[in-house]
Structures are given as C-alpha cells and as structure tokens.
Structure 1
Amino acid sequence: MTNIFVDAIMPDDERRQKLYEGALFLYSPTPSLDGLVAFARELIEEAFHPYDPRTAQFELPVERYVEILVRLKPFFIHHARSKELVQGALRELGCDPELTYFDVPRLRSATSDDYLTTGIAFAFHPHRDTWYSAPPCQLNWWLPVYDIAPDNGLAFHPRYFDEAIKNGSRNYNYYEWNRTSRASAAQHIKTDTRVQPKPEQEIALDPQIRVIAPSGGVTIFSGSHLHSSVPNTSGVTRFSIDFRTVHFADVSGRRGAVNVDSESTGTNLRDFLRVTDLARLPEEVVAPYDQDGAPRDHLIYQPTIVPLATGGLAADAAQASA
C-alpha cells in the first residue's frame, strides 16, 4: 500500500522515514516554490519568444528547439537565483537547513506527440534513481512549471517499491557518466545511445499513480520508487523542475530505503550542497559510498554555461543577419 500525504505537518525525521517506506508527500505551492516557477517561466518564455513555449515545438525544427534548450537548461540549473529559491523552499517545508543538502534544480521538458524524446529532452522509461548511483536516502522533489494533465505528468509504479526488477544498473558508473555522457545530451536528437539503466524484464505499468499537481505544487518521493515520464499526448510541452535532497544523519548512518536491485557504482553525493552555506558533504562521509576501483576523476560534473540571448528567438535571428 502506498500512502499519500497532502500538506502534512510533521517533523522532518518522521516524514523522511515514511518516504523511505514508500509514501508520497504532496505540498501546495510555497512562496519560494512559486518564485522558482516564476523564475523558470521568465527564462523559458524569454528563450522561446515570440512563441508560446508550450506549443513552440509545432513551430520550430527539432534541431533549433534543441539549440534553445542547450542554452536554457544549464542557465536555469546553475543560476544563483535557482539555488536561493530551493534553499527557501526547503526551509519553508520544514527541513533542517544545517543538516539538509540539495543538488541543483533541473529544468525538464517533455514534448508532445514524440517530437523530441531523447538527449536533452529525454523521456524517462520506468526507473529508480538508485540505478543511477543515487544513495538509498535520496529524496526527489518534483514540481510542474505550468499546470499539467494526466497525459503529460509523472507516473509511479508502487508495486515495485520493494520488489526487485532485473535491470541494467550494473553497467552504470556515475563518474563515467560525468566523463562521457552528460555533456553530449544535445547530440542525441533521433536516438539516444548513452548508457541508461532500464528494466531487463517485462514489468506491469499498472496499477500506477499519477499525481496531478498545480504549477509550483511539489511531490516528494524516495529515489527508490519506480517512476516514469507519462507518454505526452496532451498537445503541449510539459516543463517541470526537480531537485533532490539528502540528510546528513542518513548519509553518515547509511540509512534510507532498502536497496532491492541496484548495482550501479560511484555516487552522486558530491553534487549535494548544504542549505545554509552551499558547502559540500565532507569527503569522509561520501567516500564509503565508493566501491573498490572507482575512478578518481570526474567525481563532480563541471558544466558549460552559455548566456541566454535577450529577446529569445527574435534576438537570435537579428544577430544572425547582422
């Protein structure tokens, strides 16, 4: 049974334990979450100007669409304002800022009708984040930028929370992903050949849970939950934001959800930043999560940030003709 808590008021220690047991938590927008969505919308709408970003896919060749996302997503993800708003949201929702660590908020896009489902707009198959070198104590926070519908959101497959699935995580190493695959996302337009852990057996997608939250409303779930992108047939692009958190005591104490089937290597824990001051987790706490023989380079991904062009597509066109 999967319990779903809506706007629950409880100590964070108790909430984390319930999340590790498979519960879902939904919260209405807070001031900082509203601010995060507003900031994302500002950048998205500027980047796609003069088109409505939710329908721009029907106006642009896919290669041009990818060019826009290549600038837009890293600019939002690594912007100081994005981090500040996540820090505020975590405080507003009862996390201890001295003990809670977060990673940078990702901006995601899921286009409609199979326009673009690879690379920088990857449509996620059913997966657990633990297959991608996440620790058992990782919690995921997911919120839509614009209102969503049942046919363009996120799906959970609760049957498999504590049921092992044969999967390809044994081939996934986080540091190798940092070294060879993260920067190449924009090159994968028609197909995506990067190593992405997937189920290697037939799985039942139903019953499933689809959470339909308002823009800025956040869903919190364990990184061990099997979840997927709902195939988008809505006629509009879905934009969403997600970030992840870990608690210092759970990292150091090796607590979290039970690992039923992940064999990935490396760890993403060095990506996490403390809410109070953006300090990283101490190396002596992270090192036990490395397996013997793990490479010692590309432990943290270093992105390339390209400034956005003021005026969006119109400014790009003017610059190209100058």
Structure 2
Amino acid sequence: MDPFHTYTALSHQELGDRLFQGELIIFSIADELAPFLNRTKQLINKHFGIPDPQKAHLALDEPTYAARASETMTAFERDPEIKSLFFSALETCGVNREENFYDRLVLRIVPCVTSYDKGRQASVKHHRDTWGSNIDSQINWWLPIFPLRKARSIALYPDYWNKKVANTTSDWSFSRYLAEKKATPSGEKIAYPSSPQALESIDEQACFTPELQPGEILTFASAHLHGSKFNLTDKFRFSVEIRTVNIHDVKHGKGAPNVDNAGNVPMYQWFKQIKDDKKLVL
C-alpha cells in the first residue's frame, strides 16, 4: 500500500493533524518551485563545472569531487536568493512566515560510488530527527533537484512510527559533535555522529521510498524513522532538506508521540523565524 498522500496546499492545522498521526504527505507545486529549482541547478552546474554533476564520479577524482561538492553546498546555504525562492514556494503549501521557524536549508549530495560517500557528502544512517532536537512538533521537508528513482531516494520506515528503536539519545552530545566537526579536516568523515543513532538493525522490508520528481516536496513529522537510501544507481542524488517548527504547536504541546527518545533538552536555539531570521525564544 502506498503510504503517501498528495496535496497542493493544506492549512497548518490540517497539516499538523495529519503529520503528527504519522501521515506522509507530498505537495505537488511544480510551478511554484520552478524558480528555486532553476536557480539551484544553475549553482550546482557552476560549481561542479562539468556537463552532468549527477555523474561526477566519471569526470572527477575523489578529492576534486569532495572539494567541489563542499563548495557547492556552502554556496547554496549562503545564497539569499535561493532561500527567498524556496520560502516563497513553501508559503504556497500553507507555511506562514511569522508562525514558522526553520533550522537550515541544506543541499545534500549522496554519491553512487562507495569511495565518494564520505565527509559532508556521506549518506545518513537510520534515525529520527527528533532524537537530536528533542522537539516533537518538528516537521521535515525534503525534495529532489533532479528526477529520482526509488533506488536513490530517501528511505522511510512507517512501521516504526509507534515502535521503539534502541538508540544513543541517552548519551549523545551536540557540543561534542561540534567539537569533533571543528577538529576534522574538510572532506574527511567526522568520527562522531551528527545525531543520535539506532543501535539495532532495522527491517528493510519495512522501507518505503518515494519516487519524487522535481516540483514535489515530501513532508513528514521529524519523529518518523528515516535515512539515506543506499544509492545503487549510476547517478549521484542531489536533494534539499529543511526542518520547521510552528510556534503555536510548541506552545500548545502539539506534536508527534515520543516512543523512544531519552533526550530532554529541546534545541529551540537551532531555529529562526522564516520572516526575519529572529531566534526562536520561549
């Protein structure tokens, strides 16, 4: 059974009601996303400097790829036009700029060659994003830049929505991660995980992978177990992700159920208001 439901827009009330019950939602807004996608592809092509960045392994050696990928990701995060275009598109889905706060708009690159899968471009293992933020009302947004196949999409595990997973939330430290990141040379894999990790094997038969196309955004509660689909295709995956928190959800205790998170310090300081980048302060 397909666990995804597609919309063009929802009120925040309805969006929260659906997501915090475990529903996976796809917004289909090709026209609204077109300016953002075009600008992002221009930036990728500029910094990679090759005809097809999706096949970077055929044109660039590992160190050159790592350097250009890092340069591309940094340029993406610092581009004010990209951020403005994305939030304009997100607003059409029903996301209010005053009520919603975001962490970072991130360009992620997942290689299709194991030796390239490291550093900032490394694939991500099974986790719930709430394990790191400890904010049950947090929402994830995820979209591809180029057409996808299931074999290189994001992997979600809806069967684990209410199922406990042994994990490292009781002793994972964000401050230690920052220290390890600072001490790790660019292009090398950080020894300490960027978020708490699962400590048990996950049933891959429970994996769902959406075959999203450019112009579609996947939305899900951050409490959903997910990770990077191991890329078995002949192309790298370029995708964008961001997490948001609605201030009314936070103040009224609205959010997804916490089934296995031992962390107890909400990381509200990660989030800024979409409208003017003011910090989320409660």
- Superposed pair shares fold, TM > 0.5: yes
Give the 5 Å matches for 1:176-191: 176-181=176-181, 184=184, 186-189=186-189
Moved more, 194-203 or 154-163: 194-203
Cα deviations across residues 131-180 of structure 1 (Å, max 9, x unaligned)?
Answer: 22241111000000000101100111111111111012223223333343
Equivalent AA in structure 1 for residue 133 of structure 2: S
What is the DSSP-based 3-state SS (H/G/I as helix, E as strand, rest coil) of the residue aligned with 2:108? Answer: strand
Q: Which residue does 1:230 correspond to in 2? A: 229
Cα deviations across residues 225-277 of structure 1 (Å, max 9, x unaligned)?
Answer: 01111111110101000111110011223321111112246544223222222
Q: Which residue does 2:35 correspond to in 1? A: 35
Cα deviations across residues 32-81 of structure 1 (Å, max 9, x unaligned)?
Answer: 42222212111110111134101112222211111112221122113211
Give the 5 Å matches for 1:130-141: 130-141=130-141
Identical residues among aligned pairs (%):
24
Looking at structure 1, the residues matched to 104 and 185 of structure 2 have their Cα atoms a distance apart, in angstroms, of 18
Q: Which residue does 1:311 correspond to in 2? A: none
Alpha-carbon offset, residue 16 of structure 1: 1.0
Q: Which runs of no fewer than 5 residues in structure 1 stay unpaired?
A: 286-322
Looking at structure 2, the residues matched to 76 and 82 of structure 1 have their Cα atoms a distance apart, in angstroms, of 7
Alpha-carbon offset, residue 201 of structure 1: 1.7
Give the 5 Å matches for 1:244-283: 244-264=243-263, 266-282=265-281
What is the DSSP-based 3-state SS (H/G/I as helix, E as strand, rest coil) of the residue aligned with 1:197? Answer: coil
Query: Residues 2 and 23 of structure 1 are in contact (CA less than 8 Å); yes or no, is this contact kept in structure 2?
Result: no
Equivalent AA in structure 2 for residue 193 of structure 1: A
Cα deviations across residues 75-130 of structure 1 (Å, max 9, x unaligned)?
Answer: 21132112212321221111222211122210000110313222211211111111
Q: Which runs of no fewer than 5 residues in structure 2 stay unpaired?
A: none
TM-score (norm 2): 0.91
What is the DSSP-based 3-state SS (H/G/I as helix, E as strand, rest coil) of the residue aligned with 2:114? Answer: coil
Looking at structure 2, the residues matched to 183 and 11 of structure 1 have their Cα atoms a distance apart, in angstroms, of 44
Q: Which residue does 1:295 correspond to in 2? A: none
Query: Residues 130 and 223 of structure 2 are in contact (CA less than 8 Å); yes or no, is this contact kept in structure 1?
Result: yes
Alpha-carbon offset, residue 8 of structure 1: 5.4
Query: Residues 30 and 89 of structure 1 are in contact (CA less than 8 Å); yes or no, is this contact kept in structure 2?
Result: no
Looking at structure 2, the residues matched to 14 and 185 of structure 1 have their Cα atoms a distance apart, in angstroms, of 45
Q: Which residue does 1:95 correspond to in 2? A: 95
Alpha-carbon offset, residue 182 of structure 1: 6.4
What is the DSSP-based 3-state SS (H/G/I as helix, E as strand, rest coil) of the residue aligned with 2:52? Answer: coil
Equivalent AA in structure 1 for residue 235 of structure 2: V
Query: Residues 48 and 69 of structure 2 are in contact (CA less than 8 Å); yes or no, is this contact kept in structure 1?
Result: no
What is the DSSP-based 3-state SS (H/G/I as helix, E as strand, rest coil) of the residue aligned with 1:27? Answer: strand
Alpha-carbon spacing, 1:122–1:98, altered in 2? closer, same or farther (3 Å): same
Q: Which residue does 1:76 correspond to in 2? A: 76
Looking at structure 1, the residues matched to 249 and 98 of structure 2 have their Cα atoms a distance apart, in angstroms, of 13
Looking at structure 2, the residues matched to 32 and 102 of structure 1 have their Cα atoms a distance apart, in angstroms, of 20
Alpha-carbon offset, residue 22 of structure 1: 0.6
Moved more, 159-168 or 90-99: 90-99
Alpha-carbon offset, residue 31 of structure 1: 4.0
Give the 5 Å matches for 1:1-322: 3-7=3-7, 9-181=9-181, 184=184, 186-189=186-189, 192-195=190-193, 196-264=195-263, 266-282=265-281, 285=282
Equivalent AA in structure 1 for residue 191 of structure 2: T
Q: Which residue does 1:304 correspond to in 2? A: none
Number of equivalenced pairs: 281
Looking at structure 2, the residues matched to 62 and 187 of structure 1 have their Cα atoms a distance apart, in angstroms, of 10
Moved more, 157-166 or 93-102: 93-102
Query: Residues 143 and 217 of structure 2 are in contact (CA less than 8 Å); yes or no, is this contact kept in structure 1?
Result: yes
What is the DSSP-based 3-state SS (H/G/I as helix, E as strand, rest coil) of the residue aligned with 2:142? Answer: strand
Query: Residues 146 and 238 of structure 2 are in contact (CA less than 8 Å); yes or no, is this contact kept in structure 1?
Result: yes
Moved more, 87-96 or 138-147: 87-96
Query: Residues 134 and 264 of structure 2 are in contact (CA less than 8 Å); yes or no, is this contact kept in structure 1?
Result: no
Alpha-carbon spacing, 1:176–1:33, altered in 2? closer, same or farther (3 Å): farther
Equivalent AA in structure 2 for residue 14 of structure 1: E
